[in-house]
Amino acid sequence: MAYLYREPLLDAGRALRELMKEREVVVAPGIFGPVFALLAEKAGFEALYLSGAALTGFLAMPDIGLITLSELSQALRSIARVTRLPVIVDADTGFGEAINVVRAVRELEEAGAAAIQIEDQVMPKKCGHLPGKSLVSVEDMMKKVRAAAEARRKETVIIARTDARDVEGLEGAIERAQMYIEAGADVIFPEALRSLEEFTEFARKVRAPLLANMTEFGRTPYITVREFAEAGYKIVIFPVTLLRISLWASARALEVIRREGTQRSLLENMMSRKEFYELIGYSEYEERDSAVAKSVEEVLKRLKQHEERREG
């Protein structure tokens, strides 16, 4: 359906909370633009993850906190307006201290966020699966979590991510998670755990809804959604998969065009014009535009008839 004619979610956070109650596990693919949101919706997914790594990668920047709140808000707004799926938003470290988190939550909530994720790294942050990370104090992160929880005006879900596994060990990550729950976090996201056993141990000790990150080429081995669900995880994200596969396919397409001087051999691997038009609801734009034109013609015809009667 054409997004211009769809009713937006009035409270995306409530929609996500209801989904978490109804589903054993919620799978959220990472997207970084509106058309990918439509693809995920068409594929049958029920939630989306606006990945900081994917968005900054799309903007040709590393995932070290260079993106601004305005850039993130605009990206979210463009995605939220085309889909009725709740969007989980990666807000990195919250764009500053606790007071900055307040503004971030208000801005992102207004732009359509269902959930806002904040992590406990020191700026400049790093990808959660790279070495050399540094953490803020537990107290400082608790301030951010509390500020986020108090700033929301709707049922927006607050997700606290901890990168403590590589810095303070698994027990340190568990202790931090428990403190973040006390500060008001609705969901806990333990980053870069190294085995299914670690995920299971974390879930056994942390009594809150949990989010698992199934990224590629990282410290976490490849674990299935079913395995995460059985280990006690409520949300599973695939944050950068679509960006990586899109870049891979685009690089090879460019090689073919440069080498062969034509895209003909690529056609079978493309979404057709018809398929793309169906995805974005092209025909509905035409139909509604024609309907508006027809209705105006009828109004003008009635006015003309009325004028003729008056003159007669």
Contact between 100 and 88 (Cβ < 8 Å): no
3-state secondary structure of 29: strand
CA torsion sign for 144, 101, 57, 271 is: positive
Q: What is the mean pLDDT of the chain?
A: 95
Which tens digit of pLDDT belongs to each residue from 129-166? 988 899 999 999 999 999 999 999 999 999 999 999 99
Q: Say what the pLDDT of residue 312 is.
A: 65
Burial zone of 38 (CB within 10 Å; 0-12 exposed, 13-18 middle, 19+ buried): buried
Averaged over 7-33, what is the pLDDT? 95
Asked whether the whole model's pTM tops 0.75, one would answer yes
3-state secondary structure of 110: helix
Which tens digit of pLDDT belongs to each residue from 232-281? 999 999 999 999 999 999 999 999 999 999 999 999 999 999 999 999 99
Q: 1 pLDDT exceeds 70?
A: no
